């Protein structure tokens, strides 16, 4: 594959852009692969990439029922941070955040990673204590965060209203190297590299059942025929329960729609990401100038991959308290994605009751930031058959053993 470079852009400018190759191939599927990954979202593609890069396994197919990156990976609000409370979470999210720092160079694809800083507002005494505690936990974990006062909040984000009518801003948890990245580019960059390593990314191939014999994985049936494999990894976010059912096991999670919206584009007004968890909404400004606004999850389980009017109203009403200027903005579009939530708001990276069948799911409302670290850890588990240090705390066994990784404060409503 030709490298993307400034030289290549100049060269192609003189050739009427006729020399660009497809970013990834659409090959004819083989009968059998060493590893089949179900789901070409960020986590599935990153798993494939690190299987090849870190473990030399390239006889891999990634099966996608729609188009790659068309699930939550292409629908999220792109917040990247690693200031979680518990040690196992801090380890995997920080691994991920640090991989993001050089991922554009690694993938030779501009992911527009923008470590502009993320703040989580403390608007109640409870949040003040919670975030101070997280800042201290992060210091012990080697994750760089700080608790900042309202003056620093205003300094970093001048459009904020510190004395909201219901909840004044009392401080914030600030992670200066948190930020955003272009979500589709993350999927596209991984896909291009996987295809370059000879892996097959097969779109429009929905897995409809799992083939197993004597408790051991054999392959999958797709809308386009059977595909056999030695190892299967299920990475389908909001559809994890449905895939688990095909494999004959159950997962401790629920699927709900999570929504977001963007405004019309305006001139730059805000160069940090702000999350206001008490009023429930968060906002950043995209490079195009749109205000990217995240709302909440539906209060009931569902598979509706779209937005709804009451969410716009609730989210914007809440955010107007914190950012009065948005009351004058027109909202441009809104959408939803189906996320999978575990009881402790931590992911599952685990073996399953089926031999050689692995699962990566449960990232809930906040798995975009985890894509590189999760792919790294999942690839290690699939390649070696055992979860390594990053993944092992997130096994399914924790629900049997009562060993929860409670991130309801860090991840329950925020992203
Ligand atoms: C509105 C919204 C805002 C969010 N904001 C943030 C944020 O700011 N920061 C953050 O870190 N996270 C955020 N998230 C969460 C984040 O988007 C997800 O955790 C992450 O993208 C999950 O990636 P994935 O690869 O596991 O899933 P997905 O990207 O959903 O990929 C799974 C893929 O599996 C495919 N699939 C499903 N069933 C089958 C089947 N039977 N056969 C074949 N393929 C199948 C789907 O089509 C899909 O493409 C947000 C999510 C939403 C919806």
State whether the beta carbon of 366 lies less than 6 angstroms from ligand 1: yes
pLDDT for residue 204: 97
The dihedral formed by the CA atoms of 9, 14, 16 and 22, expressed in degrees to the nearest 10: -40
C-alpha angle 178/109/196, rounded to 5°? 130
Ligand 1 neighbour 363 (Cβ under 6 A): yes
Q: What is the mean pLDDT of residues 136-159?
A: 97
Q: Which atom of ligand 1 is nearest to the CA of 46?
A: 25
d(CA 397, CA 108): 38
d(CA 5, CA 3) in angstroms, rounded, equals 6
Q: What is the percentage of the chain residues whose pLDDT exceeds 70?
A: 98
- Does the C-beta of 64 come closer than 6 Å to ligand 1? yes
* Residue 413 binned pLDDT confidence (cut-offs 50, 70, 90): low
220: Cβ contacts below 8 Å, ≥ 6 apart = 36, 38, 63, 207, 209, 210, 211, 226, 227, 229, 232
Looking at ligand 1, which residue's alpha carbon is closest to its atom 1? 259
CB proximity list for 311: less than 8 A, separation 6 or greater: 259, 261, 295, 296, 298, 334
Ligand 1 centroid – CA 351 distance (Å): 20
CATH 3.90.1150.10 fits 32-78+183-252+344-411, yes or no: no
> What is the best residue among 36, 39, 413 to mutate for testing ligand 1's pocket, by most ligand atoms within 8 Å of CB?
39
Report the nearest-CA residue for atom 12 of ligand 1. 366
Residue 341 near residue 326 (C-beta atoms within 8 A): no
Confidence label for 34 from pLDDT (cuts 50, 70 and 90)? very high
Please check the confidence at residue 411 and state whether its pLDDT lies above 90. no
Contact 93 CB / ligand 1 (< 6 Å): no
Residue nearest to atom 25 of ligand 1 (CA): 41
- Per-residue model confidence as pLDDT tens digits over 330-366: 999 999 999 999 999 999 999 999 999 999 999 999 9
Whether the pLDDT of residue 412 is over 60: the answer is: no
Residues 185-228 pLDDT 10s: 999 999 999 999 999 999 999 999 999 999 999 999 999 999 99
339 CA → ligand 1 middle, Å: 7
Provide φ and ψ at 156, rounded to 5°: -75, -30
Domain 115-180+254-342 in the same topology as domain 32-78+183-252+344-411: no
For ligand 1, whether the C-beta of 178 sits within 6 Å is no
Which residues sit opposite 65 in a β-bridge? none
Give the mean model confidence (pLDDT) for residues 264-270: 97
- Domain 115-180+254-342 maps to which CATH number in 3.40.50.2300, 3.30.9.10, 1.10.150.120, 2.70.70.10? 3.30.9.10
Q: What is the mean pLDDT of the chain?
A: 95
Q: How confident is the model at residue 51 (pLDDT cuts 50, 70, 90)?
A: very high
Of ligand 1's atoms, which has the minimum distance to the CA of residue 42? 25
The candidate with the shortest Cα–Cα distance to 243, out of 217, 264, 270, is: 217
Query: So what's the pLDDT on residue 280?
Result: 86
Q: Where are the domains of the chain?
A: 32-78+183-252+344-411, 115-180+254-342
What is the structure's pLDDT at 415?
Answer: 58
Nearest to 118 by CA among 183, 176, 182: 176
Q: Please, which residues bridge with residue 284 across strands?
A: 292
Question: What is the predicted pLDDT for the residue at 308?
Answer: 86
- E-strand ranges in 20-69 read 32-38, 60-63
């Amino acid at each position: 594959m030709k490298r993307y470079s400034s030289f290549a852009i100049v060269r192609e400018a003189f050739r009427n852009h006729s020399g660009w190759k497809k970013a990834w191939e659409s090959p004819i599927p083989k009968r059998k692969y060493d590893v089949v990954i179900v789901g070409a979202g960020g986590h599935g593609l990153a798993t494939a990439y690190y299987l090849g890069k870190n473990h030399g396994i390239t006889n891999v197919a990634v099966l996608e029922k729609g188009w790659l990156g068309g699930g939550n990976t292409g629908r999220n609000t792109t917040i990247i941070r690693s200031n979680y409370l518990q040690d196992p979470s801090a380890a995997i999210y920080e691994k991920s955040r640090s991989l993001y720092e050089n991922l554009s160079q690694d993938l030779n694809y501009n992911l527009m990673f923008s470590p502009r800083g993320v703040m989580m507002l403390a608007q109640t005494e409870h949040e003040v204590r919670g975030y101070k505690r997280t800042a201290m936990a992060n210091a012990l974990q080697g994750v760089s965060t700080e608790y900042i006062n309202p003056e620093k909040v205003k300094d970093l984000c001048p459009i904020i209203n510190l004395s909201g009518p219901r909840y004044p801003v009392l401080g914030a948890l600030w992670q200066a190297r948190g930020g955003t990245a272009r979500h589709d580019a993350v999927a596209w960059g991984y896909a291009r590299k996987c295809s370059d390593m000879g892996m097959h990314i097969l779109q429009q191939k929905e897995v409809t059942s799992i083939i197993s014999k004597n408790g051991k994985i054999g392959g999958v049936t797709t809308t386009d025929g059977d595909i056999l494999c030695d190892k299967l990894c299920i990475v389908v976010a909001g559809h994890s329960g449905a895939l688990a059912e095909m494999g004959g096991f159950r997962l401790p999670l629920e699927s709900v729609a999570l929504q977001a919206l963007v405004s019309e584009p305006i001139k730059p007004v805000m160069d940090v990401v702000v999350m206001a968890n008490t009023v429930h909404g968060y906002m950043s400004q995209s490079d195009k100038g749109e205000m990217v606004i995240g709302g909440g999850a539906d209060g009931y389980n569902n598979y509706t991959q779209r937005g709804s009017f009451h969410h716009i109203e609730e989210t914007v009403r809440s955010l107007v308290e914190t950012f009065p200027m948005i009351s004058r903005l027109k909202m441009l579009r809104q959408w939803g994605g189906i996320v999978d939530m575990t009881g402790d708001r931590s992911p599952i990276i685990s073996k399953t009751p089926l031999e050689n069948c692995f699962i990566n799911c449960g990232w809930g409302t906040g798995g975009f930031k985890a894509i590189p670290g999760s792919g790294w850890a999942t690839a290690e588990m699939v390649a070696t058959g055992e979860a390594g240090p990053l993944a092992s705390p997130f096994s399914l066994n924790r629900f049997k053993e009562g060993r929860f990784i409670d991130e309801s404060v860090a991840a329950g409503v925020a992203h």
